[in-house]
Amino acid sequence: MATPSTRLSLIGLAKRLARDGLLSEAEAAHASDIAAARETPLVAYLVETTGLDAAQIALCASSEFGLPVFDLDAFDAELLSLHGVSDQIIRKYRALPLFRRGNRLFAAVSDPTDYRALDEIKFSSGLSTEAVLVPHDKLSALLTKVLANSENQPLDEINDADLDALVVQDEENDPGAGTSNIDVDDAPVVRYVNKLLLDAISKGASDLHFEPYEKRYRVRYRVDGILREMAAPPPGLANRLAARIKVLARLDIAERRVPQDGRIKLKVSRNRAVDLRVSTCPTLYGEKIVMRVLDGGNGLLTVDELGFNPAQRELFEHNLQKPYGMVLITGPTGSGKTMTLYAGLKELNQPGINISTAEDPVEIVMEGVNQVNVNVKAGLTFAAALRSFLRQDPDVILIGEIRDLETAEIAVKAAQTGHMVLATLHTNDAPQTITRLINMGVPSYNVAAALNLIMAQRLARRLCKVCKRPLELPRQTLLKEGFGEEEIDAGLTIYEAVGCDRCTDGYKGRIGIYQVMTISDDMRKLITREASDIEIAAQAKHEGIADLIQAGLDKVREGVTSLSEIHRITKE
């Protein structure tokens, strides 16, 4: 039963959803709080994270706010006219002008409380604007199509008004810095690069690849862990595109023979800034440039949202609360290690705890945590930062990555002298992490004494809830994959990806797959005598610790992901 304070906190759509039975009062209040904290519309949060039907939410909103629900399936998108409203406004407010009747412009929205969207459209179009409700998923699909079409404009036809909100800042937050070195003749290239950056951020890309070849040039985005070609500018623009990006990243535009690294800070709206980590590499036909998107505006996940099963979550939280020792997160680049660590830090971040982090670079800004950007050129290495931390009375230390023996030794000693140390390492699974530390030169007895928990992880794409379908496989195939006879006989159902207009190749979003290995006394004995990773893995199996494949099969059983996706991320 909800408490009186819970009832008082429910207003508007959240209250209607609870009243209509789509959510409990506690769930509605929790969703409202998280959406507000992330500065995300409640409707978008509910559809994208809770699995509530977008059409039902739209009907509830219609009843609550007295707005009509519009059927986009009956609307001919070919007749769409934006009536002078820029792509930037459409992208920012997720609202789309649909049609005009006299002096009235009707705009599709999924969140009826976003009055600023209607005001912006009214100001931009000069027409009286009225809202019509559209299910969030259908509106998102149409917005993606409209904005994708605008991406294909010739360079000299890109609308400057659509890029007004994009501001490049230097380290001292000097708006507009870095633009003066580009000739006026390159203004179309400036706008085109800005367009690509905004499009990548709006699509949730984690990386952008700019790749020159002999007869073509392509731009690819990595979305949900998969690279996809998104643009193919003329090959003759290769040097101009590279020069523009290098100016933004404050790199030497005259130097094309050696790799360079830099950063770009973009302010995409009043309350949101995105960092881009830039790496250039000379190739046969020009410089390949890769940008890693560090977007703090995506919101920080909680431990509940990472994808743990109950037993894994309990082990993770229990070891986080220990007063000293080391928790290591391992996996390849882009597997979500930093997000997992920060979800843990979020629980530890209390006024009575002193937390310091050393990262290269800081990807997520968290108030209450002392965060340090490693700068090797200036002499601020991970080891130097750790030495400084140990003189500043720390309780918790986070190390972005253990890369060398010096950093590893200081981290291990800190974990043995009353500090909780959280760190990442690049290995394939949890048992290999131990042998990696020993091979780096850390004495095995120190590794055994310091370690509390090792967690290997991968990110698997989630199956689209709309189009996924059951997959029938022969019994022998299921047994070979690792499923049990009893569950197969009981009617095991697994699903495969299909693909629809609401997802990408049958998938939408990602979820963590984890191997959570606590360090038992028997395992410490193996570590001390420098046992192989095969022996450690056998001991982990004996203790009932599921490996990454077994953890992935659990997600397949739950219908969250597909068997082929587990094969892809585990390489089995």
The sign of the dihedral angle between the CA atoms of 135, 164, 247, 359 is negative
In a domain, 50, yes or no: yes
Of the residues 150, 167, 186, the one at which a domain ends: 150
Lowest mean pLDDT among 42-46, 310-314, 477-481: 42-46
Long-range contacts of 381-385, Cβ-Cβ distance < 8 Å, separation of 24 or more:
381/406, 381/407, 382/358, 382/407, 383/407, 383/410, 385/358
Is the same domain home to 34 and 72? yes
Q: How many domains does the chain have?
A: 3
> Residues 67-85: pLDDT tens digits?
888 888 777 766 676 777 7
Query: Residue for token digits 């770009």?
Result: 264
Residue 118, Cα to own-chain centre: how many angstroms? 29
HEC letters along 196-231: HHHHHHHCCCCEEEEEECCCCEEEEEEECCEEEEEE
Q: Tell me, what amino acid is at 544?
A: G
Task: Using alpha carbons, list the distances in angstroms from residue 234 to 11, 221, 253, 450.
Answer: 53, 18, 20, 55
Radius of gyration over every alpha carbon of the chain, rounded to an integer in angstroms: 26
Give the ranges where 283-373 is alpha helix by DSSP (H).
310-320, 337-348
CATH number of the domain that residue 537 is part of: 3.40.50.300
Range of the domain at 396: 303-460+512-548
> Residues 23-50: pLDDT tens digits?
888 887 888 888 777 777 888 878 777 7
- Per DSSP, the three-state class of 190 is helix
With vertex at residue 22, the alpha carbon angle to CA 18 and CA 28, rounded to the nearest 5 degrees, is 45
Is the same domain home to 354 and 313? yes
Is the same domain home to 85 and 114? yes
Task: Say whether pLDDT at 60 is over 80.
Answer: yes
Chain length of the chain = 572
**pLDDT at residue 5 in the model:** 41
Residue 360's pLDDT band, with cuts at 50, 70 and 90, is confident
In a domain, 243, yes or no: yes
**β strands within 286-395, DSSP E:** 286-294, 325-330, 355-359, 370-373
Do 445 and 528 meet the contact criterion of CB atoms below 8 Å apart? yes
Do 560 and 511 meet the contact criterion of CB atoms below 8 Å apart? yes
Instruction: Dig out the tokens for 456 from the structure.
Output: 């290997």
Work out the angle between the directed axes of helices 187-202 and 136-151 (0-180°, nearest 10): 160
DSSP conformational letter for 301: P
**pLDDT at residue 179 in the model:** 42
Task: Classify burial at 561, counting beta carbons within 10 Å of its beta carbon; exposed 0-12, middle 13-18, buried 19 or more.
Answer: buried
Is the same domain home to 97 and 37? yes
**pLDDT at residue 20 in the model:** 78
Task: Say whether pLDDT at 537 is over 50.
Answer: yes
Work out the angle between the directed axes of helices 430-440 and 533-542 (0-180°, nearest 10): 150
Mean pLDDT of 108-128: 82
Exposed e or buried b per residue across 400-433, where buried means at least 16 C-beta atoms within 10 angstroms of its C-beta: bbbbeebbbbbbbbbbeeebbbbbbbebbbbbbb
- Per DSSP, the three-state class of 358 is strand
Task: Classify burial at 357, counting beta carbons within 10 Å of its beta carbon; exposed 0-12, middle 13-18, buried 19 or more.
Answer: buried
In a domain, 470, yes or no: no
Task: Say whether pLDDT at 167 is over 70.
Answer: no
> Could you tell me which residue, 304 or 536, shows the higher pLDDT?
536
Q: Tell me, what amino acid is at 315?
A: L
DSSP conformational letter for 504: B
DSSP conformational letter for 215: S
CA dihedral 268, 274, 280, 285 (to 10 degrees): -40
CATH number of the domain that residue 73 is part of: 3.30.300.160
Helix (H) or strand (E) holding 449: helix 444-450
Is the same domain home to 310 and 432? yes
Taking alpha carbons only, the member of 181, 201, 332 closest to residue 250 is: 181
Q: How many CB atoms lie within 10 A of CB 554?
A: 16
**pLDDT at residue 495 in the model:** 94
Cis peptide before 41 (omega within 30 of 0): no
> Residues 379-408: pLDDT tens digits?
899 999 999 999 999 999 999 999 899 999
Is the same domain home to 315 and 289? no
In a domain, 480, yes or no: no
Is the same domain home to 543 and 400? yes
Rounded to the nearest integer, the mean pLDDT of the chain is: 84
Is the same domain home to 526 and 398? yes
Of the residues 246, 270, 294, the one at which a domain ends: 294
Q: How many helices (H) and strands (E) does the chain have?
A: 22, 19
> Residues 539-571: pLDDT tens digits?
999 999 999 999 999 999 999 999 999 999 987
CA-to-CA distance for 195 and 252, rounded, in angstroms? 23
Exposed e or buried b per residue across 376-399, where buried means at least 16 C-beta atoms within 10 angstroms of its C-beta: eeeebbbbbbbeebbeeebbbbbb
Backbone angles phi, psi at 52, to 5 degrees: -65, 145
Residue 174's pLDDT band, with cuts at 50, 70 and 90, is very low
CA-to-CA distance for 422 and 344, rounded, in angstroms? 9
In a domain, 4, yes or no: no
User: Which range scores top for mean pLDDT: 22-31, 270-279, 496-505?
Assistant: 496-505
- Per DSSP, the three-state class of 20 is coil
Is the same domain home to 419 and 521? yes
Task: Say whether pLDDT at 181 is over 50.
Answer: no
By 3-state DSSP, what share of the chain in percent is helix, strand and coil, each rounded to 5?
45, 25, 35
Lowest mean pLDDT among 43-52, 55-64, 309-318: 43-52
CA-to-CA distance for 469 and 503, rounded, in angstroms? 14
**pLDDT at residue 376 in the model:** 83
In a domain, 146, yes or no: yes
In a domain, 491, yes or no: no
The DSSP-derived string for 359-380 is ESS--S--TTSEEEE-BGGGTB
Is the same domain home to 404 and 532? yes
Task: Using alpha carbons, list the distances in angstroms from residue 107 to 63, 100, 111, 132, 136.
Answer: 18, 9, 12, 6, 13
CA-to-CA distance for 29 and 34, rounded, in angstroms? 9
Is the same domain home to 396 and 432? yes
In a domain, 358, yes or no: yes
CA-to-CA distance for 244 and 237, rounded, in angstroms? 11
Of the residues 294, 312, 346, the one at which a domain ends: 294
Residue 148's pLDDT band, with cuts at 50, 70 and 90, is low
Mean pLDDT of 233-253: 90
CATH number of the domain that residue 267 is part of: 3.30.450.90
Is the same domain home to 131 and 234? no
Backbone angles phi, psi at 4, to 5 degrees: -60, -35
